[in-house]
Structures are given as structure tokens and as C-alpha cells.
Amino acid sequence: MIKRSILRITFSFFFLVTAGFYLSAFAQNKLVINADLGKEVISKHIYGHFSEHLGHCIYEGYWVGENSSIPNTRGIRNDIVKALREIQIPNLRWPGGCFADEYHWMDGIGPRDKRPKMINTHWGGVTEDNSFGTHEFLDLCEQLGCEPYISGNLGSGSVDEMSKWVEYITFDGESPMANLRRQNGRDKAWKVKFWGVGNESWGCGGNMTPDFYSDQYRRYATFCRNYDGNQLYKIACGANNNDYNWTETVMKNVGYRMQGLSLHYYTLPSGNWGKKGSATQFDENEYFATIDRTLRMEELLTKHSIIMDKYDPQKRVGLITDEWGIWTDVEPGTNPGFLYQQNSLRDAILAAINLNIFNAHCDRVKMANIAQTVNVLQAVILTDKEKMLLTPTYWVYYLYKAHQEATLLPLSLTCAKYKLNDKEIDAISVSASKDASGKIHVTLVNIDPNKAQSIETELRGFAAKKVSGKVLTSAKINDCNTFEQPNTVSVKDFAGAKLSGAKLTVSLPAKSVVLLEIE
């Protein structure tokens, strides 16, 4: 009898401890969404992209030429246009990047066979034949149905050159530049709102001090005119990473003259620019370190925003994160100056985390541009001659397009930790919005590559009747899409969300990105 009692007590204790563990794990994941309290709108431009004259982003990416056997419209690949329209790309930044501050736009207009060639000194030392220039880029944007974002040459160019570029593109009246545009086949002016006044002026764009750049910005911006109702949104060169002094100085000196201030931050798996780490061959330690580093975006946006608030409390100036993403070592056997890297499920999770962070800061963050769209860095599309594939990061943009121009919903999240060795980070990232039709969309990321997460969600101020979803995940965290197996990582229907009155229970698979639509 004594032995049986001891056995019962031992079993009961084990049951209580085990049940307590699971209840505790469930209790750790609680989400409250205030569906009736949102006021900030998530700008669609947070979902922007970036394409530079670098590697095979433009040539052998978008641009194949009108005589190519690859289906194209005026030299621009039809399959790429179709894929980017599907994710509702809102804007495209061009021609750089570092290339922007050595690019002279008049070399890229007129008959293509008469355009002068140049050396792309930043990216591989290859010959740039300028066959893709202003008209081709603006044609691409029209085909995509997106807004152009042009980076002007402040580094090696002149005030006169940038001023004439604005006039050439946007002036509809009689002038030398407008008439030159007409001579080159475009009668009506384009509407181009977004203009970058220099790029990375602290580095490849001129190695300037913030005070010197401020003076240059003042000069250049003065001569970038508003023509025929085309109101320019001038974006000043902002900081690299955590250079808060740059933000402080430029905001103090010329904050009142700009509409946007850029910020660049790349996630390096290893944390150093020498050997950054492989795009596909990494272990869990490297995965954890990469995600931990990308979460720094939250700190950067917060601290740069605090400085901007000091000089712009009305939040008139947008924080423009126009270069971000993961930067790994190039794929073995490829030109190191072409920055061609594969794209894994890890990168999709990284992208989803960053987009959730941008959404949360949408009162200040008005644009973000992932680097880069095709064949370069964290690309959403890879090509190989006539073949094309969509990367795991592409599918994140496919899911997250639901947030564009929707109202950010305030939320609170208490969640479990993803622990490795002696470090830990939150296991879950989330964002929620309500669109114009009244539907709620929630994007959830389970960062933990090993454990599923169950989340108890309370919807306040919303009578939910139906929930549906999509999920992006795969067997391994380093799974990627190849030309032989292009659909290894892709979106599937998600059945892990259950409604019961005002309560929503969501079961997130390990290493996954989920979109919920609640009606």
C-alpha cells in the first residue's frame, strides 16, 4: 500500500509538472489586438524594392533587349514584370546604390548604339553600355505600375546635371531639356516624385562629413524644381547603421528642407564585412546570430526616430530605410563583384521580421527598399537565361501585401523565448492591420526553428466570424528554391487558426511565416 501511494504521488507530481509545463508554454504566448484603436496608416512604400546597375540585376535580369528570344516588352522581361505586379511592388529605387554617384544620366538617353560606354568601378569593373537608361527605367516602372525612386548623382556629378535630369523627366513645357526628351521619343513628361539627393555620401558617395554633406544637400535640393504639379519628395542621405551623429547633424542643418532621410542597415550573418557567412551552409548557431542581428533594426529605428523627433516633432520627414536585407558571401564560383547569393527560408523569416518592425514604426518610417530585386543580395527573383524562380523572400512580400495602406492595429504580445546556449530572443514576431474593407490581417513569424508555438489571441473591438490563412515554411531552415526544384519553399494554405467567440487560437509551425485574414 505504501509503495502504491508513493507511485500515485510520484505519477500525480509528474502529471502536474508536465501539464504545468505545457500550460505555462501556452500561457507565455498571448496576443491582444485592439481592432478599434488604430490610427496610423502603413504606407505601401514600406514594401518597396531596389535595383542597381550591379551584377545581373539590370542586364540579364530585367533587361534582355528587344531582340531576345525571352518574351519581353520593349526589352523588359515579361515574366519578371508579371511576378512583381503580383506582389504589388509600390516603388523601385534606381540606378543605385554606389553606382548612382558615378552615373551620368545623359549617357543613358538617345539611340542605344550611340550611347557612350563606361566602367562600373564599384561592381566588378565591367563595361556598362548604358543601354538601360532613364527611358527604359521609367518604362519598366510603368509596366510594373509602381512609382520610380531616382537616386541623383551628388558624389561625382554637378548641381546643373541633377537639375537638368529633373527638368528632362518632369517638365512639360518648352525648354532645352523637355525638347531633348521629345527628340528621344517621349512627348509627355513623367510624374516622378521620389528623388534621392546623393547615396551613402558618408562612404562610396563621396566620403563626406555630415556638415559638408548638409551644405551640398542644400545646394542640390535648391535647384531640383517642382514642374507642372510634380511635387518632389526629396530624400537626403541618412546614416549608416548606428551613426546617430550623422542623423543629428543633417536634421539640425537641413531637416526643414527635406521630405525624407535615408537609413542603411544590412544584416551580416557573421557580423563582419570580411567573411560574412554562407547563404545556405549554416548551422543553428549562425541562424540564431543572424536573427539576433537583424532584430537590431528595432533599436536603430527607435533611436534615429528620437533624434528626428527632436527637430521634427510633427513627423513631417519620413525615415526611408532604402537599403536593408541580409548580405552573405557570394555563391561559390560567381563574380565577387556581382553579389549573387542564394535565398533560404532563413532569409524569408528575416524579411518578415523586418517588415513587422517597419509596420510598427509606420508613424515615422514611410518607405523601405529591400536590396535587391533581381539576382543581387536578398533578391526576390533569380534568373538563369530564360529560367526564372521566385525566392522564399518573394513569398513573404506576397503574404505581406495585405498590409499596404492598411491601418496599423495596436497590439500587445507576451511570448516564449527562443533560447540557444546562453542567449535568448523572442520566439514570435507579429504585426496586425485593418484594410479599407474592414478585414484584419495578422502576420506572425515563429522564429524558433525547432518548436511549434501556440498563441491565444484576443480580438478587442471586433466581432470575428471567419478566419483563413496562408503559411510559408519548409523542412529545413536552409531550404531554398533552385532552378531544378523551384517550389521547395512556397506558400500553402494554413489551417492552424481556430475561432471561438472573441478568442483566436493559432498553432504556428516551427520556422514559419503565417498570414491570417479575419472577417
Q: Which runs of consecutive H residues, i.e. helices, occur in 29-127?
A: 78-86
For 142-273, strand residue ranges (E) read 147-152, 194-197, 233-240, 260-267
Asked whether 392 and 473 are in contact (CB, 8 A), the reply is no
Catalytic residue among 66, 323, 405, 458: 323
Rounded Cα distance between 256 and 250, Å, is: 10
List beta partners, residue 264. 240, 323
Catalytic residue among 52, 167, 200, 248: 200
Query: What's the number of CA atoms in the CB half-sphere (13 Å) around residue 312?
Result: 25
Asked whether 352 and 297 are in contact (CB, 8 A), the reply is no
Grid cell in block for residue 474: 519548409
323 is catalytic: yes
Rounded Cα distance between 338 and 8, Å, is: 67
Kind of pairing between the strands at 48-50 and 30-34? unpaired
60 is catalytic: no
Q: How many residues does the chain have?
A: 519
Rounded Cα distance between 121 and 398, Å, is: 35
Query: What's the number of CA atoms in the CB half-sphere (13 Å) around residue 20?
Result: 6
Q: Evaluate the CA torsion angle 357, 362, 365, 367 in order and state its sign.
A: positive
Asked whether 35 and 458 are in contact (CB, 8 A), the reply is no
Catalytic residues, which ones?
Answer: 200, 323
